[in-house]
């Protein structure tokens, strides 16, 4: 009678040690390789998904920054005009619109966002000024608004 001992091989396969024939080599079987590749593929898909989400977030943040900069710039133009001639601000800027380069317009899908200026002049010494930017962005229809008060 031959003495044999069973144990785990280097890569997890069962092998027979001692005198006698080995029933399974110490290498990786085809099934183990397929399982390893499947796990690797699932992990890579998750990583690609995270990367695509990060790119979308970066683009949405860039659009938001363009809108914020355009609204602030228009607000500064109106403030400068109010310092030189306060009385003409309402007639010059109330209910006007302007284009914002780098953003897609909601109405005509051009590469220009649409900015609007609304001024509430019910109090002649205090103007309620709202500058709004609307565009169709990476996350659908988007809007940025900035509001301030102007005094004489």
Question: Does the structure show a pLDDT above 50 at 88?
Answer: yes
The pLDDT value given to residue 1: 46
Q: Is residue 21 part of a domain?
A: no
pLDDT beyond 60 at 24:
no
Q: Is residue 143 part of a domain?
A: yes
Q: Is residue 7 part of a domain?
A: no
Can you tell me the distance from the alpha carbon of 142 to that of 56, in angstroms, rounded to the nearest whole number?
A: 14
Count the domains in the chain.
Answer: 1
Closest CA to 108 of 134, 131, 71, 70: 134
Choice among 32-36, 102-106, 124-128 with the minimum mean pLDDT:
102-106
**What is the distance between the alpha carbons of residues 54 and 60, in angstroms, rounded to a whole number?**
10
Question: How deeply is 130 buried, as exposed, middle or buried, from its count of CB atoms within 10 A (0-12, 13-18, 19+)?
Answer: middle
Residue 87 lies in a domain: yes
Instruction: Find the mean pLDDT for residues 50-58.
Output: 85
What pLDDT sits at residue 23?
54
Q: Which segment of 18-22, 46-50, 94-98 scores lowest on mean pLDDT? A: 18-22
Q: Who's near 130: CB < 8 A, 6+ residues apart?
A: 117, 118, 119, 120, 145, 146, 147
For 130: left if phi > 0, alpha if psi spans -120 to 50, otherwise beta; the answer is: beta
Q: Is 68 inside any structural domain?
A: yes
- Between CA 81 and CA 31 the distance in angstroms is 76
In a 10 Å sphere around its CB, with 0-12 CB exposed, 13-18 middle and 19+ buried, how is residue 9 labelled?
middle
Q: Read off the pLDDT of residues 108-148 as tens digits, 9 standing for 90 and up.
A: 556 677 899 999 989 888 999 999 999 888 888 889 999 99
Q: Which residues span the domain enclosing 76?
A: 34-151
Q: Is 123 part of a structural domain of the chain?
A: yes
Is the whole-model pTM more than 0.75?
no
């Amino acid at each position: 009678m031959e003495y044999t001992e069973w144990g785990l091989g280097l890569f997890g396969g069962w092998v027979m040690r001692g005198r006698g024939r080995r029933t399974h080599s110490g290498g990786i079987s085809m099934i183990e390789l397929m399982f390893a590749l499947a796990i690797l593929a699932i992990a890579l898909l998750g990583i690609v998904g995270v990367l695509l989400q990060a790119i979308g977030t970066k683009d949405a943040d860039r659009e938001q920054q363009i809108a914020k900069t355009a609204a602030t710039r228009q607000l500064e133009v109106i403030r400068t005009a109010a310092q030189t001639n306060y009385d003409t601000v309402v007639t010059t800027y109330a209910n006007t619109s302007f284009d914002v380069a780098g953003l897609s317009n909601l109405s005509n899908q051009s590469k220009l966002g649409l900015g609007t200026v609304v001024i509430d002049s019910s109090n002649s010494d205090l103007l309620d000024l709202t500058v709004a930017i609307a565009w169709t962005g990476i996350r659908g229809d988007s809007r940025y608004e900035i509001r301030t008060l102007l005094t004489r």
